[in-house]
Amino acid sequence: MYELKRLGVEFGLVQEGAVAPVLSKTFVDMVDKYGRVPEIPLMMTVLLKTNPLRILKMIPHGLKLFLRGRMPFLPHRISGISELQKCSGAMTDALVSGVHAGPVTGEET
Residue 102 in this model has a pLDDT that exceeds 70: no
Question: Looking at per-residue confidence, does 16 or 41 come out higher?
Answer: 41
SS3 letters for 46-93?
Answer: HHHHHCCCHHHHHHHHHHHHHHCCCCCCCCCCCCCHHHHHHHHHHHHH
Instruction: Assess if residue 105 is contained within a domain.
Output: no
Instruction: Of 13-22, 60-69, 77-86, 87-96, give the range with the top mean pLDDT.
Output: 60-69
Helix axes 19-34, 2-10, angle to 10 degrees: 120
Instruction: Assess if residue 92 is contained within a domain.
Output: yes
User: Domain span at residue 68?
Assistant: 2-97
Instruction: Assess if residue 106 is contained within a domain.
Output: no
User: What's the whole-number average pLDDT of the chain?
Assistant: 78
Q: Per-residue pLDDT tens for 20-72?
A: 888 888 988 888 888 888 888 898 889 999 888 988 998 898 889 888 988 77
User: How many structural domains are present in the chain?
Assistant: 1
| Whole-number Å distance between alpha carbons of 27 and 2 | 8
